[in-house]
Chains A and B, each alone.
Chain A
Amino acid sequence: MAAALAVQALAKRYGKVQALHGVDLEVADGELVGLLGPNGAGKSTLMKIACGLVRPTGGSAFVNGARAGTSKARAGLGYLAEFFRFPGWMSAEELLTLHQQLAGSPGGQDERTRLLELVALADARNRAVEAMSKGMQQRLGIAQALVGSPKILLLDEPTSALDPVGRRTVRELLEEVRSRGVAVLLNSHLLSEVELVCDRVVILLGGKVVAEGTTAELAHPRGIEIETDQGTRLVEGAKREDTPALVQAEVAAGRKVYGVRVLSSTLEEVYLEAVQGETS
């Protein structure tokens, strides 16, 4: 069975700027992958190629087995651009109806109601887009991307304008979408969000993949912290497997052990190390 998104040796050049240098990436069905990297790393370009908005200069991209940009590929994806705008005069209901018609979705009123409830906009269904806050528009954008039950969602900075409650709503929404087998490629600068919801992360730098894996795989062990009746001490360099021996040694030395914590680097530390402090 074809991956929801399969990208091989993908390259893109804008004039003199090489935005992507042979990127390989795969997103399986029901997998939530976080795409990280500094500004200008090529994240949005990669997403735009997958959507058919940008033509690659090399390599290939397939969405649900169909070449990216073809009608078949577009039929199976939902996309929210980083910089998007919907017609201000349309209500949320009208916008979703428009996208249902464009996507050929037979979902009708039931689908619109479900999607608006999913993004907590059920009460604003008749409100014009221009009367919505940026956060509400962003949530409406996610609802729009979900029209037609796509097999893969490509979300470019979907939480950039959201407050903490809005972010939580989106996080729960992403988890629900994943539980239904929908693949998600999430481009975000909010590392804490990515760490919380993503199964895997891919870090891009200068158009190349510089790190890839689960957060656990990417994290480096930072030692083990042991809390005893004589205080807390850090055993640097120790790994999770060393825990029983360390506890045993403490007990043998007559100390009472109250707590043990295996420390590893956070996603932020992994990211900063991968991008070597580059910002844009």
Chain B
Amino acid sequence: MTTVIRYAIGEAVRRKVFLVVLVLTLIFLGLDALANHYIFGDLSHFHPPEDVHVDVRTFAASFVIGMSMFATLFLGVVLAVFLTLGAVSGDAERGLLQPIVVRPIGRRSMLLARFFAAAGVCVVYVLVVYFVALVITGTEGSWWPHSIVAPGLLLAAAVVVMTAISLLGSVFLAGTANGIAIFMLFIAGLVAGLLGTIGHALGSHTISHAATVAAWVLPFEALYQDALHQLVAGTHGFTTFLLQLGPFGGSYNSGWGVRGWAAAYLVMVGAAALTAFARRDL
């Protein structure tokens, strides 16, 4: 299995996947550093809402970190999709897959290796970008969130879920079609989060409930909301502001329920991918 993991990573390096993501990441971190510099250079322009009883520094820093977490999630999903979108159908169409799966290693190990390779790379990537963004805000704003590690781990878990979905999609769809489908799912999740925020603002239980259901159907969104919640869960005076942290979905305390569901979801998606791949003619 380690052979296929090394092969998959080598293939990603060769296809310049990492280069593209590295460039995007550097642009994002550069802009993040610039934004932090100007925000914390003069905090007098910022005024927290009246119902949020926190100091302006906490308000600005948590807001910026919330935004950077969304960007980290987005970049992590881009990396996950690029690493897996053509893992089965795409490679089979190009004739790259057949010489490998006729070897004794077999399809199950091949698919699991592709998942571990992509998930491993994405977890490391998300954690690194998350912590760098955190350090930028922490250094510029002299503010650190209540929980530092948990939001990063939840964000990484959200990307791992997307990796699994993309791998499942690659069994059925050609590379381009799968890439489009996965990004549409990603956007659907984000829209669900946005809907939740709107529902809460309007006081509509129906809209909020629909958003919650959608977030659980696509648990990467629920994990992202959980990560936002973990960021400031222990900060006094933030309770009413929690819903406004992220641009596509506020923070929700789903607790261990959503984490357990995400783990089960991952197992189900993985099982579906393995079963479908085992039955697929190449």
- Given A86-B99, A101-B3, 13 further pairs, Cβ under 8 A: A52-B101, A52-B102, A84-B99, A85-B94, A85-B95, A86-B96, A87-B11, A87-B14, A89-B10, A90-B10, A98-B7, A102-B3, A102-B4
Residues of B within 8 A of A189 (CB): none
Closest to B3 in A: A101
Contacts A89-B10, A89-B14; is A75 near B95 (CB within 8 Å)?
A: no
Q: A87 to B3, alpha carbons, bound, how many Å?
A: 14
Judge whether B106 is part of the interface by a CB distance below 8 angstroms: yes
Residues of B within 8 A of A98 (CB): 3, 7
Among residues 69 to 86 in chain B, which have CB atoms less than 8 Å away from a CB atom of chain A?
Answer: none
Closest to A84 in B: B95
Taking each of A14, A53, A99, A102, which has the highest tally of chain B beta carbons within 10 Å of its own beta carbon?
A: A102
Q: A55 to B277, alpha carbons, bound, how many Å?
A: 12
Closest to B101 in A: A53
Binding site for B on A (CB under 8 A): 14, 48, 51-55, 71, 74-75, 77, 79, 81, 83-90, 98-99, 101-104, 141, 144
In contact, B103 and A103 (Cβ under 8 angstroms):
yes
Min C-beta distance of B107 to chain A, whole Å: 9
In contact, B14 and A81 (Cβ under 8 angstroms):
no
Q: A81 to B93, alpha carbons, bound, how many Å?
A: 12
Closest to A94 in B: B10
Return 20 A-B CB contacts under 8 Å, by A number. A48-B282, A52-B101, A52-B102, A53-B98, A54-B281, A71-B106, A74-B104, A79-B102, A81-B95, A84-B95, A85-B95, A87-B96, A88-B14, A89-B10, A89-B14, A90-B10, A99-B99, A103-B104, A141-B99, A144-B99
Min C-beta distance of B162 to chain A, whole Å: 25
Q: A87 to B91, alpha carbons, bound, how many Å?
A: 10
Residue of B10, B14, B98, B100 touching A102 (CB-CB under 8 A): B100
Taking each of A53, A55, A77, A99, which has the highest tally of chain B beta carbons within 10 Å of its own beta carbon?
A: A53
Contacts A87-B10, A89-B14; is A102 near B281 (CB within 8 Å)?
A: no
